[in-house]
């Protein structure tokens, strides 16, 4: 696959092998995040900050995001085929069918957090784009082109920066076309440690 993009295959194979090693031992992750949604037409950044949690549940990964800034924030939980968003300001919970929107939810939530390389290469054309420092650590840079036309319409290109030691995402960028993009950066990441009680439940 790498040859088709003019890249040496050992570089891509090295990163995919790292992802598989990380996937084999993956149980959970807790990480701080900053989401930056940029809209070019109005030249505006919508920045949200908080804590994310990932936990392996059978063949799936449960995801929770506690958005703390701007206050009062929101909480998002993706579990058992459903995605729920609780808005603290209104006290309302909205539920989505994550199974019907599997591509869109997985595209910006769980990439680079415990997934097997075969899942990546099944859903994306993967290009190895070298190494780059992020958050003071060295990362491997992967450029993903969705194979699904539905996902490609939403995200023509997704870029991952993978920590060379842990195999976890340090940064993600989802290009949305027309100059719009969403960037997620992660910090204070802890791997395979007990998570706080109730993080995958909405009160």
1: in domain: no
**Which tokens belong to 100?**
């019907």
| Three-class DSSP category at 14 | helix
Q: Name the residue range of residue 147's domain.
A: 7-190
Give Cα 166 distance to the centre of its chain. 15
21: in domain: yes
**Which tokens belong to 196?**
């706080």
Alpha carbon distance 195, 131 (integer Å): 31
125: in domain: yes
71: in domain: yes
196: in domain: no
Residue 61, domain CATH: 2.50.20.10
Q: Look at the chain and report how many structural domains it folds into.
A: 1
CA angle 105, 106, 109 (to 5 degrees): 85
CA atoms within 13 A on the CB side of 1: 18
Tell me what pLDDT residue 1 has. 36
What pLDDT digit, counting tens, does each position of 76-106 carry?
998 877 889 999 999 999 988 766 665 555 4
Confirm if 29 and 53 have CB atoms less than 8 A apart. yes
197: in domain: no
Strand 124-134 and strand 137-146: the pairing is antiparallel
Alpha carbon distance 43, 96 (integer Å): 29
* Entry pTM: 0.88
For residue 47, name the pLDDT band (cuts at 50, 70, 90).
very high
């Amino acid at each position: 696959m790498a040859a088709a993009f003019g890249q040496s295959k050992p570089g891509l194979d090295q990163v995919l092998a790292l992802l598989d090693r990380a996937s084999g031992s993956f149980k959970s992750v807790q990480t701080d995040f900053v989401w930056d949604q940029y809209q070019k037409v109005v030249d505006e950044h919508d920045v949200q900050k908080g804590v994310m949690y990932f936990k392996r549940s059978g063949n799936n990964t449960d995801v929770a995001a506690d958005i703390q800034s701007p206050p009062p924030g929101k909480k998002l939980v993706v579990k058992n085929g459903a995605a729920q968003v609780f808005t603290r300001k209104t006290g309302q919970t909205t539920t989505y069918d994550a199974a019907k929107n599997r591509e869109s939810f997985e595209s910006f939530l769980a990439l680079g957090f415990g997934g097997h390389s075969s899942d990546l290469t099944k859903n994306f054309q993967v290009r190895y784009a070298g190494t780059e420092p992020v958050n003071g650590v060295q990362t491997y840079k992967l450029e993903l082109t969705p194979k699904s036309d539905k996902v490609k319409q939403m995200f023509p290109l997704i870029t991952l920066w993978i920590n060379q030691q842990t195999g976890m995402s340090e940064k993600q960028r989802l290009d949305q076309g027309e100059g719009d993009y969403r960037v997620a950066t992660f910090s204070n990441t802890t791997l395979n440690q007990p998570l706080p009680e109730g993080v995958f439940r909405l009160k």
